[in-house]
Amino acid sequence: MDVEISLRVDGAEHRLVVDTRTSLLDALRERLGNTSPKKGCDHGQCGACTVLLDGRRVNSCLALAVAHQGAQIVTAAGLAQDGALHPMQESFIRHDAFQCGYCTPGQIVSAVGMLDEARAGWPSAVTPDFASSNVSADGGGSGVLVEDEIRERMSGNLCRCAAYANIVPAVKEVAG
């Protein structure tokens, strides 16, 4: 069944007609021409399609477009503001944190979302025990987001080129 919906993507309002079974990823890519989120597995396993949905990281291939009217959707394309790249985008470039680049938009969006989650306090139900982190749910730690924690919290974003050795330092630099 087709329905008319509105989506707020990267600060712009869009009206479009979609089938009720259309994924948010397909709505973004096929209907709105926003090819920033990538279709890797289309089954919630690779993270290439990661977007921020009201600030939370979501695999857009698993979300239905009709379910997210009114939500603030941010893709990697929307992270740059006023002609300036987001610090995370700049850090990925500085660290050469990609090879083929297919997973990169999802990696960057996930990293930005992860740091926002850290600043807001991790959801305790999904907080592993990283003793040296300054962003644990109870606010304890040494003030450093350790590389193991970055790897764990971004484990939903796969890189087939295995560029993790550069991705992790790129994220860590922005995390401080």
Decide whether 61 or 171 has the Cβ nearer to ligand FES: 61
Measured from each CB, the residue nearest to ligand FES is 61
Decide whether 46 or 168 has the Cβ nearer to ligand FES: 46
User: Contact 169/94 with Cβ under 8 angstroms?
Assistant: no
What are the residues whose beta carbons fall under 8 Å from the beta carbon of 115, sequence distance 6 or more? 88, 145, 171, 174, 175
CB of 35 to ligand FES, least distance (A): 13
Return the biggest CA–CA distance within the chain. 53
Decide whether 99 or 132 has the Cβ nearer to ligand FES: 99
CB of 170 to ligand FES, least distance (A): 21
CB of 49 to ligand FES, least distance (A): 3
Decide whether 9 or 146 has the Cβ nearer to ligand FES: 9
- If binding means CB under 6 A, how many residues of this protein chain bind ligand FES? 12
User: Contact 5/66 with Cβ under 8 angstroms?
Assistant: yes
CB of 27 to ligand FES, least distance (A): 13
What's the CA gap between 139 and 102, in Å, rounded?
35
Instruction: By CB under 6 A, tell whether 102 contacts ligand FES.
Output: no
**Cα 130 from chain centroid?**
22
Decide whether 48 or 118 has the Cβ nearer to ligand FES: 48
- Give, as ranges, the residues between 13 and 72 that touch ligand FES (CB under 6 A): 39-42, 44-49, 59, 61
What's the CA gap between 42 and 8, in Å, rounded?
22
Pick the closest to residue 88 from 106, 108, 118, 74 (CA basis): 108
Phi, psi dihedrals of residue 120, rounded to the nearest 5°: -85, -10
CB of 22 to ligand FES, least distance (A): 14
Residues that bind ligand FES (CB under 6 A): 39-42, 44-49, 59, 61
